[in-house]
């Protein structure tokens, strides 16, 4: 069981210039979403980040909103939040797989995204994972985004040149 394991958590990065994060949340399960957002905001505040919040209808719309913000707005990183609880149909698999894949593809294109969309079997699992005093997956997603922002800034402006390496 994962809760019995000891995990290492990277220390939060420090920034010399302000960081602007966008939290994109699907509040379908409002109480769970609110806890995820609270955890993400707290971690952002710890790093001195400015945090904006937008809501979208569901988990499938989270990556679309992030893609629009990446093209049209000025954010350093993104925190994807929501919760998908298994139901009676295969819709659960579609939502989990497609939202995760789209977020991963955006990340591979250079967007600094922390994925905090919970994919769980039941409400009890979601509540424990969303609780800022529990597993704090919203805070973990914000921390992931901040670590990627730090890497992006570390490597910004460096070029590899064109053609063969010397």
Cα gap 109→113, rounded to integer Å: 11
- Which of 143, 137, 153 is closest to 11 using CA atoms? 143
- Would residue 91 show up in a list of annotated catalytic residues for this protein? yes
Rounded alpha-carbon distances, angstroms, from residue 143 to 35, 37, 85, 147: 15, 13, 24, 6
What is the 3 state secondary structure string of 58-91?
Answer: CHHHHHHHHHHHHHHCCCCEEEEEEEEECCCCCH
Q: What angle, rounded to 10 degrees, do the helices at 91-108 and 62-72 form?
A: 20
Of the residues 31, 58, 68, 91, only one is catalytic, namely: 91
What are the residue numbers of the active site? 91
């Amino acid at each position: 069981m994962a809760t019995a394991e000891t995990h290492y958590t990277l220390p939060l990065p420090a920034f010399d210039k302000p960081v602007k994060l966008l939290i994109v949340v699907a509040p379908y399960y409002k109480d769970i979403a609110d806890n995820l957002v609270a955890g993400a905001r707290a971690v952002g505040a710890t790093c001195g980040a400015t945090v904006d919040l937008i809501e979208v209808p569901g988990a499938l719309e989270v990556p679309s909103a992030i893609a629009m913000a990446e093209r049209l707005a000025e954010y350093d990183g993104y925190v994807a939040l929501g919760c998908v609880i298994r139901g009676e149909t295969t819709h659960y698999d579609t939502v989990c797989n497609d939202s995760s894949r789209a977020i991963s593809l955006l990340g591979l294109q250079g967007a600094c995204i922390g994925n905090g969309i919970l994919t769980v079997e039941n409400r009890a699992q979601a509540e424990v994972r969303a609780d800022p005093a529990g597993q704090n997956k919203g805070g973990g997603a914000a921390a992931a985004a901040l670590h990627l922002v730090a890497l992006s800034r570390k490597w910004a402006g460096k070029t590899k040149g064109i053609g063969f390496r010397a």
